[in-house]
Amino acid sequence: MSEELSRWYRGRLVGGPFRPFDPGECAALEREIGLPLPPAYRSFLEAAGGERLDYSVRLPACEPEPVQGFDDLHQLGRDDAGEYGWGTLLGEYRRSRNGWLAESVSLTGLLPIARNGGSDTLFLDLNPATHGRLHAFVHAIAWPGYLGNHVFTKVADNFDAYLDSLFIDPDMAEDAWADVADSDPSDPWRRTVEGWLDKELPGWRAEAWATS
């Protein structure tokens, strides 16, 4: 496993750790699903495939909470225990077949590839007619001002388009900076966060949360 903290891919910062791409594991995943991975997503797994993608995406179907994020990436291959457990692509695919969501949404040909802390899930569509599209399931929150009903919605036409649509939400930027602001300026992760914010949010250093 690589000890790299992060890698850039198509202009987006992917957080580690990173496992070497294993063609055999990719073939095993495709064999079980019975459908191939789209080239754009396979290229991502080959070049990056880390565990974090700390960005947001705008989903109009999720009003009044259109800004959503799916930052925990599922991994190709087995987990540290040598199993297809939680957070592995094959493990998540297997579990999704028997979960409660499968009772209300057709998950045929859909591969879970990421989630967030609220267990909202990002799916990659492997079906021939819609091959490569991304969809999301977002849970309702029974509280005024939040999403009143569960939503299953299209996110992007393909994985590259999904990456291109990502942005850093200001609240996310503030939290990321708060985590490193008190560390030494030479700290590798602080320098990574600074570079990430410099690229994605020019002018962030003038924000009150960055100068306090």
Q: What is the predicted pLDDT for the residue at 2?
A: 62
Quick: pLDDT tens for 55-101. Answer: 999 999 999 999 999 999 999 999 999 999 999 999 999 999 988 88
Query: What is the Cα Rg of the chain in Å?
Result: 18
Quick: pLDDT tens for 76-88. Answer: 999 999 999 999 9
- How far, in Å, CA of 48 to CA of 76, rounded? 11
Q: What is the predicted pLDDT for the residue at 141?
A: 85
Q: Is the pLDDT of residue 207 over 60?
A: yes
Q: Rounded mean pLDDT of the chain?
A: 95
Q: Are 91 and 111 in contact (CB under 8 A)?
A: no
Strand 57-58 to strand 6-9: parallel, antiparallel, or no bridges (unpaired)?
A: unpaired
Query: What are the b/e assignments for 73-105, b being 16+ CB within 10 Å?
Result: bbbbbbeeeeebeeebbbbbbeebeeeebeeeb
Q: What is the predicted pLDDT for the residue at 100?
A: 86
